[in-house]
Structure 1
């Protein structure tokens, strides 16, 4: 099996290069070789490589910046996703594409299911929804995996930001009224490998159907709860960081205005993923400890 991975230098893309190796020949391309800001180049690239599976881990992810760059975000997250989908159909490939909880408005009191109405409240969410819609309209075999609050040992993410700020300041203020499930990039990549193996068997047996699936950690917390868990775990696992932070003050989102509005509820129901692929994602706090162990070199 030949697997093409876009966004090779991203948090999930980097992990995919490892997780997908047991499945076959992995071709992991970074932006220099696969630039989604130039959608017109994608059909030729896919035709040349003729993969069996395309895993699109490339995306525009600067949520606040997208408010001023919505056209660019939509080109990368929407138009390019559609071009990859049409190219996948042309070569008979399965497309795996990552989306986000930000396609929802966050007003629901319980976890979102895949069938809940979408209503993004920021430019990033609108751009990712455009990608979902373009893929669905393409007619290619596809699986869209919606995830949330991604973190990793590398790249720009909440864990690394908190560790940096916690080493610089004695007190931090963190939003406590937004709820979600922090999800480790490695868990996403490992689950993706399981999904692909199952989906390819389904395709070979003539029983495959395209669809949307939530893929996030078990359990949930707030950004404030996540920050406190990071510091508690880091004190035991990363003493070299030299944390100074002694207090993490919980604040409402209204006290920390950002250019892009965030959903108050980013929890994603996992039943559909479990029913079809047999995947139960690890708890977010267990994944956090494993990620910090990686940072410590354990």
Structure 2
């Protein structure tokens, strides 16, 4: 089977490329290869390459910038997703779509289940939720996988790499401790996606799932562990989000309940500390 992975050069797309056993032909396409905001371009690519499944890793993820550039965020996170869903509907293809914890408001104190009320706090969350809804309304076979605090040891720009760099340059860092969640190693999410693809367990599903690594921490805890593993002498200090003013309010609590994904796919998930220390 031919699989199209959009956002193929990003950190998750690159991890999927590194994880796949290549049972079939994979096309890893970035915007320079395929502009998914253009429906006819998507349709032509699918038809010309006999695509049998689409995995959408493409997203506008700059949370702060999205507040000033809603049109660009909406084009990628909503309109492009609607185009993918429409093409999947036309060719009767399943779609695996990556979404985010930012669809929630962060006002709970227990892990978010897939059925919990959404309450996005900014443009990024609203456009990602709109993309999810476009898929559901298309009526196609689909898996929507919401994740949180995604990072890769190997690819892209992310919190891990930023803390590694800054802690090598500075004597101390302040990191917020009033935002709590679960980091996600992109290698582990990629392993789940590849498992779903290559076992065919996406077939017949119209479902939403949550995935992150196990355990709970603040950004401060996460940063402190990164610095410890890097053996840097930088001191990590906890601070409040108010010390770093932002155009968008981030969820204070975004822990995801992974009961459903573990049950449906018999997939074991590592603790975030193990995933961080063992790339």
TM-score between both structures, scaled by the size of structure 2: 0.96
Question: Would the aligned equivalents of 2:143 and 2:202 in 1 still touch at CA under 8 Å?
Answer: no
Q: How does 1:182-201 map to 2 (within 5 A)?
A: 182-198=183-199, 200-201=200-201
SS where residue 52 of structure 1 aligns? strand
Distance 1:84 1:146 in 2: 18
Equivalence map 1:106-255=2 (5 Å): 106-153=106-153, 154-198=155-199, 200-201=200-201, 203=203, 208-235=204-231, 243-245=232-234, 247-255=235-243
Structure 2 partner of 1:72: 72
Classify the secondary structure of the residue corresponding to 1:21: coil
> Deviation at 1:133?
0.4
**What 5-or-longer segments of structure 1 have no aligned partner?**
236-242, 292-298
* Larger fraction in helix: 1
Deviations along 1:28-87, one digit per CA (max 9) or x if unpaired, are 112101123444522222222231111111111111110101111011011101110111
Structure 2 CA distance for aligned equivalents of residues 193 and 183 of structure 1: 16
1:58 aligns with 2:58: yes
Q: CA deviation at 1:142?
A: 0.5
Partners of 1:39 and 1:73 lie apart in 2 by 17
Conserved? CA contact 2:196–2:202, under 8 Å: no
> How far, CA to CA, are the matches of 1:31 and 1:150 in structure 2?
21
Take 2:94 and 2:23, find their aligned partners in 1: how far apart are those partners?
14
Structure 1's 251 and 105: CA in aligned 2 closer, same or farther, altered over 3 A? same
Match of 1:239 in 2: none
* Count of residues in correspondence between the two structures: 278
Match of 2:41 in 1: 41
SS of corresponding position for 2:278: helix
RMSD of aligned C-alpha atoms? Answer: 1.4
Separation of aligned partners in 2, 1:102 and 1:128: 8
Q: Does 1:288 align with 2:276?
A: yes
CA distance in structure 1 between the aligned counterparts of 2:54 and 2:114, rounded to whole angstroms: 22
TM-superposed CA distance for 1:209, in Å, is 2.4
The 2-side partners of 1:219 and 1:135 are apart by 30
Query: So what's the TM-score if we normalise by structure 1?
Result: 0.90
State whether residues 178 and 241 of structure 2, in contact with CA within 8 Å, keep that contact through their aligned partners in structure 1: yes
Q: CA deviation at 1:272?
A: 0.6
Structure 2 CA distance, aligned partners of 1:183 and 1:201? 22
Cα separation, 1, equivalents of 2:201 and 2:161: 38
**Structure 1 residues 52, 37: closer, same or farther in 2, change over 3 A?**
closer
Q: 1:250 to 1:83 in 2, by over 3 A?
A: same
Deviation of residue 282 (structure 1)?
A: 0.9
Name 1:263's counterpart in structure 2: 251
Q: Give the distance between the partners of 1:22 and 1:29, measured in 2 at CA.
A: 16
User: Which structure 2 segments of 5+ residues have no match?
Assistant: none
